[in-house]
């Protein structure tokens, strides 16, 4: 085999929208190409923060490329929304720039998509579609809101998703506020950067003195205002997310060479920051203040670092945190807590919060955080001590693993082997997913980050406790919630919470039952009542059919001897025909009571399914037998007719058909 030379690293399109950064990357060997065709097989490929379509990922897999996916988490969320919309046959409507890499990539995750770049122009055909609306993560916040409002007027059934990056939204708000308070504002950013262009647009909307520069060379010092004797001049600086610290430093130094002193300088590389006049007039020089701001805002955070900050906004999908750095921190709702509470029930704006850094994205100027992981680290000691104390803990089953399940307990992953799950052998573990369970920790190895638990141990103890309580309080007629464990030909074994009882097939239904599976299935949760029990032999007889649904009781409430009833013939025998008076209540029409004249066989007159009118000529309440007569239905009734010796005794109501079938 001939070893192939390392083809190097490639990036599909500019990794960041900043020419200086792209040049630096090229110098260290990161090649920028515009199509997959120009990437050699087996090369390492960096997916930039704007993301790529499903098709691009497929092509890279076919070429055997190593993919380094740096897609922004906010963009990934839009891709997920696009997939969900496609699964529901909805059209994805994107508010943004149709030529922007992020928007193009997003369209590649939707089966049907429309891009709208003007908040005032809503295509009329959208009114007839089921749409899901999103925004480009770097879209103008105000314009995006306006677009959503206009779309609501057209599409009454639209689903709206707030997908603008929280860092972008915060940066735009601060830039507008800063532009209002300064004489001149300088926006540093590349012309191809969407978020930098939006900052320039927003600043220009409130301040006519805006300079949009990509580096210090483009700064026009002659356009900067000069100090006057009457007041100090205030200059603001803000920058796009992809602007390197060095460029901002160079712009600042370029202004320092200007003859006119700058009494107050405001720097805002990622989140705009301002100084008031009181601060500017302090003894500290403007240059020292500026340097302090730079040092504070350019503080670098690393993955795994513990940080603290202040909650600045709370949405259904994430919590934004001010970390006192140039990057904006955010906690996805999945990394906030294990509870079912909504984010605004867990934290409030202004709360101090601690978290772990899980991902740093300098390109977009955001830091992904996890409060849940920090909580798990804090809870580890409690998990370890539970091994010795044998405390019962509660958690949620989050995934099925090879050989068992994983339970999230206080933010820690606990592995529960299948043998300790409490489920019967061969039972799918999937039925435990998303269920809250109680378990005992049997092993905790911090060095290996391994925790093992047992659901069965807790379940067995609870079962024993319940069994003692059941035998102390059991009585005939008492109702229990039970679980069907096993079915047999003669009945079902039912767990009533610690003790197994037996429900005979005859007690499952008031109708005919060939097998218990006709009525119930294994695993069913059902309500049963105690018919009889034996404490010494530990046996319990259970019933499932409802006593108040007893068809015999319904019959005796509705009918008396001599009443006329319309019945349906459902079985014919040599001695007569059985007819249904009410569901599960049959009576016997003896051959002698079918016709006014003698007949050789009931089939000479009747067939199964016939509906006939009969008179109830005899009811035996003790044996629950009913005798019927077609002949007597049209004749005057005599009180002693029921005593006619020619009329044979009827068969039991609920057993007649079963006995007849057995005889056949």
User: 370-397 pLDDT, tens per residue?
Assistant: 888 888 777 887 888 888 888 889 888 9
- The CA-based angle 251-254-255, given to 5 degrees, is 95
Q: Which of 248, 279, 297 is the last residue of a domain?
A: 297
Residue 537: which CATH number? 2.40.50.140
Examine the domain organization and report whether 175 and 189 are in the same domain.
Answer: yes
Lowest-pLDDT range of 94-103, 338-347, 568-577: 338-347
Q: Which of 325, 350, 373 is the last residue of a domain?
A: 373
Examine the domain organization and report whether 113 and 26 are in the same domain.
Answer: no
The answer to whether the predicted template modeling score (pTM) of the entire model surpasses 0.85 is no
- Residue at 515 is within a domain: yes
Residue 17: which CATH number? 3.40.50.11270
User: What is the arrangement of strands in the sheet containing 44-47, beginning at the earlier edge strand?
Assistant: 30-33, 9-12, 44-47, 66-69
Kindly name the residue from 102, 335, 364, 651 that is annotated as catalytic.
Answer: 102
> Is 102 part of the annotated catalytic residue set?
yes
Domain span at residue 486 reads: 474-549
Non-local (6+) Cβ contacts of 124 within 8 A are 154
Examine the domain organization and report whether 243 and 316 are in the same domain.
Answer: no
**572 pLDDT higher than 60:** yes
For residues 161 and 467, what is the distance between their CA atoms, to the nearest angstrom?
52
Examine the domain organization and report whether 38 and 94 are in the same domain.
Answer: no
- Residue at 141 is within a domain: yes
pLDDT at residue 640, rounded to an integer? 53
Look at strands 184-188 and 159-160 and give their pairing.
Answer: unpaired
Examine the domain organization and report whether 105 and 210 are in the same domain.
Answer: no
- Residue at 233 is within a domain: yes
- Residue at 448 is within a domain: no
For residue 392, the cross-strand partners are 440
Radius of gyration of the chain (CA): 40
The pair of structure tokens assigned to 500 is: 């197994």
Give 656's pLDDT tier (boundaries 50, 70, 90).
very low
- Residue at 446 is within a domain: no
For residues 570 and 579, what is the distance between their CA atoms, to the nearest angstrom?
6
Examine the domain organization and report whether 133 and 246 are in the same domain.
Answer: no
User: 178-214 pLDDT, tens per residue?
Assistant: 888 888 889 988 887 777 888 888 898 888 889 888 8
- Mean pLDDT score across all residues of the chain: 80
- Residue at 425 is within a domain: no
Examine the domain organization and report whether 280 and 352 are in the same domain.
Answer: no
pLDDT at residue 300, rounded to an integer? 63
Examine the domain organization and report whether 122 and 198 are in the same domain.
Answer: no
- Residue at 560 is within a domain: yes
Examine the domain organization and report whether 51 and 139 are in the same domain.
Answer: no
3-state secondary structure of 488: strand
pLDDT at residue 326, rounded to an integer? 66
Examine the domain organization and report whether 32 and 18 are in the same domain.
Answer: yes
Lowest-pLDDT range of 161-165, 212-216, 277-281, 416-420: 277-281
- Residue at 79 is within a domain: yes
Examine the domain organization and report whether 354 and 332 are in the same domain.
Answer: yes
Domain count, the chain: 6
Give 362's pLDDT tier (boundaries 50, 70, 90).
low
Examine the domain organization and report whether 139 and 179 are in the same domain.
Answer: no
Residue 81: which CATH number? 3.40.1010.20
Q: Which of 262, 297, 332 is the last residue of a domain?
A: 297
């Amino acid at each position: 085999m001939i070893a192939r030379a390392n083809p190097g690293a490639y990036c599909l399109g500019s990794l960041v929208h900043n020419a200086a950064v792209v040049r630096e990357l090229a110098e260290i060997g990161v090649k920028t190409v515009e199509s997959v065709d120009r990437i050699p097989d087996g090369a390492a490929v960096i997916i930039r923060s704007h993301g790529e379509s499903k098709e691009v990922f497929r092509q890279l897999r076919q070429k055997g490329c190593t993919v380094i996916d740096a897609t922004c988490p906010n963009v990934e969320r839009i891709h997920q929304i696009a997939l969900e919309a496609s699964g529901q046959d909805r059209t994805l409507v994107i508010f943004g720039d149709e030529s922007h890499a992020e928007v193009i990539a997003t369209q590649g995750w939707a089966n049907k998509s429309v891009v709208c770049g003007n908040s005032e122009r809503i295509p009329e055909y959208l009114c007839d579609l089921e749409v899901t609306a999103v925004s480009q993560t770097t879209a103008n916040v105000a314009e995006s809101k306006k677009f959503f409002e206009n779309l609501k007027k057209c599409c009454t059934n639209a689903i709206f998703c707030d997908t603008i990056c929280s860092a972008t939204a915060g940066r735009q708000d601060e830039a507008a506020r800063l532009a209002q308070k300064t004489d001149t504002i300088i926006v540093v950013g590349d012309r191809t950067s969407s978020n930098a262009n939006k900052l320039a647009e927003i600043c220009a909307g409130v301040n006519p003195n805006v300079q949009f520069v990509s580096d210090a060379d483009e700064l026009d010092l002659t356009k900067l205002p000069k100090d006057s004797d009457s007041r100090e001049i205030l200059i603001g600086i803000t920058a796009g997310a992809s602007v390197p610290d060095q460029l901002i430093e160079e712009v600042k130094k370029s202004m320092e060479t200007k003859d006119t002193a700058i009494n107050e300088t405001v720097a805002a590389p990622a989140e705009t920051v301002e100084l008031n006049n009181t601060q500017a007039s302090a003894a500290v020089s403007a240059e020292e203040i500026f340097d302090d701001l730079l040092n504070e805002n350019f503080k670098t955070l690393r993955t795994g670092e513990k940080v603290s900050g202040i909650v600045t906004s709370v949405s259904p999908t994430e919590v934004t945190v001010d970390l006192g750095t140039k990057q904006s921190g955010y906690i996805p709702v999945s990394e906030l807590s294990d509870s079912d509470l909504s984010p605004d029930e867990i934290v409030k704006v202004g709360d101090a919060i601690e978290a772990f850094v899980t991902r740093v994205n300098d390109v977009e100027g955001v830091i992904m955080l996890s409060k849940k992981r920090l909580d798990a680290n804090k809870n580890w000691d409690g998990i370890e001590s539970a091994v010795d104390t044998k405390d019962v803990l509660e958690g949620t089953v989050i995934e099925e693993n090879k050989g068992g399940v994983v339970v999230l307990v206080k933010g820690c992953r606990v592995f529960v082997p299948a043998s300790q799950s409490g489920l019967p052998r061969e039972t799918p573990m999937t039925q435990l997913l998303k269920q809250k369970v109680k378990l005992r920790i049997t092993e905790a190895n911090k060095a290996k980050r391994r925790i093992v638990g047992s659901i069965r141990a807790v379940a067995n103890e609870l079962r024993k406790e319940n069994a003692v309580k059941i035998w102390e309080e059991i009585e005939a007629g008492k109702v229990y919630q039970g679980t069907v464990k096993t079915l047999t030909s003669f009945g079902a074994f039912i767990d009533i919470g610690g003790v197994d009882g037996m429900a005979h097939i005859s007690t499952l239904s008031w109708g005919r039952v060939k097998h218990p599976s006709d009525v119930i299935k294994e695993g069913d949760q059902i309500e049963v009542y105690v018919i009889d029990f034996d404490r010494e032999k530990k046996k319990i007889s259970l019933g499932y059919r409802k006593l108040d649904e007893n068809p015999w009781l319904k019959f005796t409430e509705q009918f008396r001897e001599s009443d006329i009833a319309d019945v349906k013939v459902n079985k014919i025998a040599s001695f007569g025909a059985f007819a249904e008076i009410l569901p599960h209540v049959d009576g016997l029409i003896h051959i002698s009571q079918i016709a006014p004249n003698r007949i050789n066989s009931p089939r000479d007159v009747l067939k199964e399914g016939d509906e006939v009118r009969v008179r109830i000529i005899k009811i035996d309440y003790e044996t629950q037998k009913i005798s019927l007569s077609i002949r007597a239905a049209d004749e005057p009734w005599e009180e002693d007719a029921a005593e006619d010796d020619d009329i044979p005794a009827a068969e039991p109501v609920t057993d007649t058909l079963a006995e007849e079938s057995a005889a056949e």
